[in-house]
Structure 1
Amino acid sequence: MGADLERESTYHRDQLSAKWLQEAFGKKLLSEITRRDVEKYLAQRKEAGKAPATLNRELCCLKNMLRKAVDWGYLKTNSAWGVKQQRETLKEFEFLTEAEMDQVIESCAPHLRAIVTLAIHTGMRRGEVFKLEWRDLDFKNGFITVRDSKNGDTRHIPMNSTVRQATEKQTTRLLDGKICPLVFSSDAGQMVTDVKKGFAGALKRAGIERHIRFHDLRHTFASHLVMKGIDLRTVAKLLGHRDIKMTMRYSHLGADHLQAAVEVLTQRTPQRPGGVIDDVPEFGVLAVDVADDVYRALVVGQLSREPGKFGQGRVQRREEPTEGAQGRRVRRGSCIAHGPPQGVGSWPQLYRPPPGSVKRGRLYSPVPPSYLVPHLPFSRSPAMQYTIARTTNLGSADARWDRPLWAAAQTLEVTNFPWKDSGHRPKVQARLLYDDQALGLIFRVEDRYVRAVAKKFQDSVCTDSCCEFFVAPVPGSSAYLNFEVNCGGTMLVFRCPSPEERQAGKEQIVLSAEDEAMMPVSHSLSKNVDPEIADPTTWTIEYHLPFALFAKYFGIATPRQGTTWRANFYKCADHTSHPHWGSWAPVDTPTPNFHVPASFQPLTFG
């Protein structure tokens, strides 16, 4: 029966629309129906008090009928084409608060409890829950397969621990010695088709007086995902929406969440460049207000608690920028900056603010102003962030972007291409998952001018069509592993030390063939792609990074839920006919340079 319940409802609505259209146009030939007739019909229906949504359904029904007449050759043109739909006011969807979710589930009768739990925690439609079969539950990999959704698509929904527990408790029914295939069935083994009465009773026992329908559990699922920061595209995928416009209707927020949002305005936070910092730390930035000339110095030093005790802004010494500089004290009056930029002048000109201009708590714009934010420990812009979903078993890498396993993962995109426009900008997407043993990573690239000539481990793959992943797993340290893989699956990996490690004599470490064996790469294209493929080509690569590798090179434990690493994702093609360089998180350098740990953004293990 699949989504028959939803389809039956749609069918009845279409029948009703056809009835009204038959009354209005039934005595006319199709060729006699004019656009004016259609607009007049809508005006009359509107005058009769019909809702905009009703008028739009009837207009859609008429347009489809006339379009089919054109397809079959009965008409030359569709007279309803171009008639505008009525403006609809979106309904305020009801949804349960977190406390109400628990109360409703606890108030359900035993036969209804698992059904309601599943609806709340998966966002499945009523008909999708009712027709669920045991073959649709993959307990090993933690997925529910919805085979026959309302729009006809198959989708895969991850099980959280609550769903897993609820479904595992749901016992199969033995009827005449046979196992009932349905997860939820009547005593006679028939599909459940209505829980309206039981659900209303549960709401009453839970003390919920406002009108909540079973379908509002789907709204509850979507609303809480959005309120917890899950992006709308991921929510749309979980709900089975083809058009994200539908998902926008679920992006409303509860009153408590809105209150928490506006409460942020009452919290005193450091201002952006040019403003005054209220709470000056022991070390940090002193500078003048941001001026039109963006090429100014970033003055870092130990701060005095009293105004005017920092000196007169004279430079005593300067330092090259290092990742660790913001986290350690530097000599009072010293300077640190990302430059000097080309054609802007010498260091003394760049670094000497006007006498007396250095004031307590003032921020001084660096090169360019956007560089200031990620380098201040107390003045950061809203950071990009990615939450890595957990799975029970990554399985073997197969470079299949559409594998059900990856449905649980958020999708990020490499969208920053600030350097040297060659006229080609590929669409680059990535997803991450993890299990107890490894971090899984898959890239998907819609590309052109594709090539792969580097064939051996540790060859220079960046000259080919290549995706890269740089990750710093130790809090407070900028030491990182960089993984570079071309479209043919050839990998280059090395460990880059932090500035502190370099000062201690630690050098870059090139990973060994033994390490390579721990992280085989699966790729959709052949190992060698030469000559270059100029036509549009989509390619994928997938590899899994064992946590033992990170333990070996960083001495860290296996990450747990809540652990945060920092990383960036890149795409390059240095020696192709159309070279390009792109990143997920922005990199502020005048020329292509991926080795900027300050650009790394949080990856949180969910």
Structure 2
Amino acid sequence: MAIKKMASGWLVDIQPAGRGGKRFRKTFKTQAEAKVYETWLKNKLVESPEWQPPKKDLRKLSELVDIWFEHHGLGLRAGKNTYSRLKHLCASLGDPIAEKFAPEQFAAYRRIRLADGISQNNLNREHSYLRSVFNELRRLGYWKSENPLEKIRQFKVQERELTYLTHAQIQKLLKETRRGRNPDTDLITRICLSTGSRWSEAEEIRKNQIQPRLLQFALTKSGKTRAVPIDEALYKELMDRAEEADSERLFKYSYAAFREAIERAQIKLPEGQLTHVLRHTFASHFMMNGGNILILQRILGHSSLAMTMKYAHLAPDHLQEAVRLNPLSFTS
């Protein structure tokens, strides 16, 4: 429709920028006035393109995720996994038009997921993933509007109690890993207890990562390589295993065998801390034996000291200065 005779006069109804552009509607007393307005409007858009209203952005949320993956996510170490999670999230949200995606939609989605038993940690992770998509696309110039998730607060999750194994539990566990069906489980377990490595880092060790009394961890969570000293006995055992190995990789996957060893040793662990208890055990005993918190940070490969400080309270002299240096201790 352009110009049409109505009971109230001559109606100009036009979208000069095409589908998705702004629609102009105005009524005039005469057809001549309507035609003059229509011509003026078209000329205005030609003479001053900046005056032309921008077309509506009809891209869906999943399309933005595709763009993010192509221009950024593809280069991330966990990019494919994150991309898969994001696509599933888009589907769960109903894959709305991104420009119309509002904070209250995500808030409503979280309420439903919480009621379904999904943890706050998982929802915070989804929030971070999707918020990062908008932030990165803004930086790259593929998204001009505000980030719809910028002002939504994440859930404040109470820190879980860190569980570590006692000396007696370590002995029971090693007894079970030695007699298990998978011969690799015992050595992987002892690498974790000796170096504070994550299970996946130890499980995926390759021959070139073994140096004289030193283990280099390359496939780390942060993507950075770190090296941790090991004793002579463990070094020799690893070298023997490297000579026996048919490939560059020393071990086969042993997660299930470790779970069985934990169950046979009758060790009860909090949910989500199965193999990670070995890393906690290393860090906890390191501090209880008088280790330095800054050295522990380097061994564990934490990007910030704040992550390592959760073990600080285990140090024998933790905050003892409070007793020695408080003002009453100087008052006679």
Shared fold, TM over 0.5:
yes
- Aligned partner of 1:214 in structure 2 is 275
Residues 88-145 of structure 1: per-residue CA shift (max 9 Å, x gap): 1222233211232233223323443222111111111222212212222221xx3211
Alignment-derived partner of residue 261 in structure 2: 202
With over 3 angstroms needed to count, the CA separation of the structure-2 counterparts of 1:21 and 1:107, relative to structure 1, is same
SS in structure 2 of the partner of residue 151 of structure 1: coil
2:294 counterpart residue number: 233
Instruction: Provide the rounded CA distance (Å) in 2 between the counterparts of 1:107 and 1:76.
Output: 57
Aligned to 1:134: 207
SS in 2 for 1:170: helix
Counterpart of 1:84 in structure 2 is 153
Which of 67, 92, 99 pairs up with 1:31?
99
In structure 2, relative to structure 1, the CA distance for the partners of 1:36 and 1:197 (3 Å cut) is: closer
Change in Cα spacing, 1:58 to 1:218, as seen in structure 2 (3 Å) is: same
Q: Secondary structure at 1:61's aligned position in 2?
A: helix
Residue 67 in structure 1 maps to residue 135 in structure 2: yes
Quote the Cα distance in structure 1 between the aligned partners of 2:196 and 2:232: 15
Counterpart check, 1:173 vs 2:234: no
Q: 1:149 aligns to what?
A: 220
Residue equivalent to 1:104:
173
Give 1:331's aligned residue. none
SS of equivalent residue, structure 1 residue 213: coil
Q: Secondary structure of the residue that 2:261 maps to in structure 1?
A: helix
2:120 and 2:324 map into 1 onto residues whose CA distance is: 48
Partner residue of 1:125? 198
For structure 2, the residue ranges without an aligned partner over 5 or more in a row are 1-76
TM-score by length of structure 1 reads: 0.36
Note the 1:550-569 alignment, pairs <5 A.
none
Q: Give the TM-score normalised by the residue count of structure 2.
A: 0.62
The SS at the match of 1:157 is strand
The alpha carbon displacement at 1:270 in A equals 10
Q: 3-state SS of the aligned residue for 2:221?
A: coil
Residue 147 of structure 1, CA deviation: 2.2
Q: How many residue pairs end up in the alignment? A: 245
What does residue 124 of structure 2 align with? Answer: 56
Contact 1:14-1:61 at 8 Å conserved across structures: no
Distance verdict in 2 for CA 1:208–1:168, change over 3 Å: farther
Is the partner of 2:113 in helix, strand or coil? Answer: helix
Shift of the 208–67 alpha-carbon distance from structure 1 to 2, 3 Å rule, reads: same
Judging changes above 3 Å, is the alpha-carbon distance between structure 1 residues 202 and 169 closer, same or farther for their aligned structure 2 residues? farther
Relative to its length, the structure with more helix (as a share) is 2
Map 1:430-469 → 2, pairs under 5 A? none
Amino acid at match of 2:255: K
AA paired with 2:257? Answer: G
The alpha-carbon deviation at position 167 of structure 1 amounts to 2.3
- Matched-pair contact (CA < 8 Å) for 1:21–1:58: no
Q: Take 1:290 and 1:119, find their aligned partners in 2: how far apart are those partners?
A: 49
Q: Is the 8 A contact 1:90 1:249 kept in 2?
A: no
How far does residue 14 in structure 1 lie from its aligned partner after superposition?
A: 6.0
Distance 1:82 1:290, change over 3 A: same
CA contact (8 A) 1:21 1:62 kept: no
| Deviation of the 1:218 alpha carbon | 1.3
- Name the SS for the 2:93 alignment partner: helix
Q: CA deviation at 1:86?
A: 0.6
What whole-Å deviation, never above 9, does each CA across 1:455-504 have from its counterpart, x for those lacking one?
xxxxxxxxxxxxxxxxxxxxxxxxxxxxxxxxxxxxxxxxxxxxxxxxxx
Identity %: 20
Q: String of CA shifts for 1:167-207, please: whole Å, max 9, x gaps.
A: 245351264xxxx433x23xxxxxx12x13322343355x3
1:309-346 per-residue CA deviation (whole Å, 9 max, x = no partner) reads: xxxxxxxxxxxxxxxxxxxxxxxxxxxxxxxxxxxxxx
**Partner Cα distance (2:87, 2:167) in 1:** 42
Which residue number in structure 1 is paired with residue 163 of structure 2? Answer: 94
Higher strand share: 1
The CA distance in 2 between the partners of 1:156 and 1:237, in whole Å, is: 9
Residues 266-321 of structure 1 show CA distances to partners (whole Å, capped at 9, x for unaligned) of xxx9999987xxxxxxxxxxxxx957xxxxxxxxxxxxxxxxxxxxxxxxxxxxxx
- How much does 1:80 deviate? 1.3
Which whole-Å CA distance do the structure 2 matches of 1:48 and 1:115 have between them? 36
Could you tell me which runs of 5 or more consecutive residues in structure 1 were left unpaired when the two chains were aligned.
1-6, 186-191, 276-288, 292-606
In structure 1, what is the Cα distance between the partners aligned to 2:325 and 2:210? 51
